[in-house]
């Protein structure tokens, strides 16, 4: 296999968890192709990656626009070479938390269209690229889902459905790509302090203080990043379809 740096693609990597993952992968020897809806605000992330000695660039892309996926994969490969790792991180929350009986079709379509439909077809496009390209490094696909893949929140029904779908996506691609030696994994974060959770931070501060999270703290993007990077590099070569919870024991059933 090549002695050069492998290329990882991280979706939704301009800030938050995606940025943390990209920086950690750079520290572990990857070059990075980032994708996000816009480039504004990505300077700090790109600088932190460069500080690790890695090449990096950001491709503007709307994950929900699946007709552009094949072209995006081609552009990434032209820029950085064969893709060794895909991290599916991009996703959107419900636009408004509301009772399950009040979920609107446009909100449902937006969340499922990005989080599940978009992720499925982008994974398909990258998997096709991997299948058609000789391996130069260990290869992996890591999907960042959520504890909401199993834990139900009736005020975020569309979000929970999208994350539950990602759990099955992981199983399906793990089976399909196992003969090619491509490891496929799912990482389920719990309550992580990011720009996406700023609006509910006060409520979660209180719930964490009341015992919601057994580790009694918020998670950080670095917590998720370390888990993803450990799976991405091929160290778990006989594991695939594996789920890793990064949630401070939040999802363990308790009496």
Which of 30, 120, 122, 159 is the catalytic position? 159
Tell me phi and psi for residue 182, to 5 degrees: -95, 115
SS3 156: coil
Nearest CA to 169 out of 210, 207, 192, 141 is that of 141
Q: Whats the size of the chain, residue-wise?
A: 255
139-144 and 182-189 strand pairing: parallel
Segment 54-79, tens digit of pLDDT: 999 999 999 999 999 999 999 999 99
Model pLDDT, residue 92: 95
Judge contact between 87 and 166, C-beta under 8 A: no
Q: Does 108 qualify as catalytic in the annotation?
A: no
pLDDT of 132 strictly over 70: yes
pTM metric for this prediction: 0.95
pLDDT of 20 strictly over 50: yes
Rounded CA separation 111/75 (Å): 26
211 contact partners, CB below 8 Å, separation of at least 6: none
Segment 83-122, tens digit of pLDDT: 999 999 999 999 888 999 999 999 999 999 999 999 999 9
Provide the residue ranges of all domains of the chain, joining segments of one domain with +. 7-243
H helices of 13-156, where? Answer: 16-27, 43-50, 69-80, 105-112, 119-132
Nearest CA to 45 out of 3, 89, 2, 78 is that of 89
CATH numeric code, 7-243: 3.40.50.720
- At residue 198 the predicted structure's pLDDT band, cuts being 50, 70 and 90, is confident
43 contact partners, CB below 8 Å, separation of at least 6: none
């Amino acid at each position: 296999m090549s002695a050069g740096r492998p290329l990882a693609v991280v979706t939704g990597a301009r800030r938050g968890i995606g940025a943390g993952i990209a920086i950690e992968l750079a520290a572990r020897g990857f070059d990075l192709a980032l994708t996000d809806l816009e480039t504004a605000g990505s300077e700090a992330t790109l600088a932190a990656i460069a500080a690790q000695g890695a090449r990096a660039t950001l491709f503007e892309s709307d994950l929900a626009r699946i007709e552009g996926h094949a072209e995006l994969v081609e552009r990434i490969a032209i820029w950085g070479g064969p893709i060794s790792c895909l991290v599916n991180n991009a996703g959107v929350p419900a636009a408004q938390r509301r009772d399950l009986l009040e979920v609107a079709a446009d909100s449902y379509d937006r969340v499922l269209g990005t989080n599940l439909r978009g992720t499925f077809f982008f994974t398909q496009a990258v998997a096709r690229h991997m299948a058609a390209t000789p391996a130069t490094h260990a290869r992996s696909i890591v999907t960042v889902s959520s504890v909401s893949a199993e834990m139900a929140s009736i005020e975020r029904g569309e979000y929970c459905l999208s994350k539950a779908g990602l759990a099955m996506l992981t199983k399906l691609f793990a089976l399909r790509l196992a003969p090619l030696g491509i490891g496929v994994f799912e990482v389920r974060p719990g309550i992580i302090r990011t720009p996406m959770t700023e609006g509910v931070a006060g409520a979660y501060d209180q719930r964490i203080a009341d015992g919601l999270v057994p580790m009694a703290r918020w998670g950080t993007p670095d917590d998720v990043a370390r888990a993803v990077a450990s799976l991405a590099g091929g160290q778990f070569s006989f594991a695939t379809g594996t789920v890793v919870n990064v949630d401070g024991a939040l999802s363990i059933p308790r009496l």
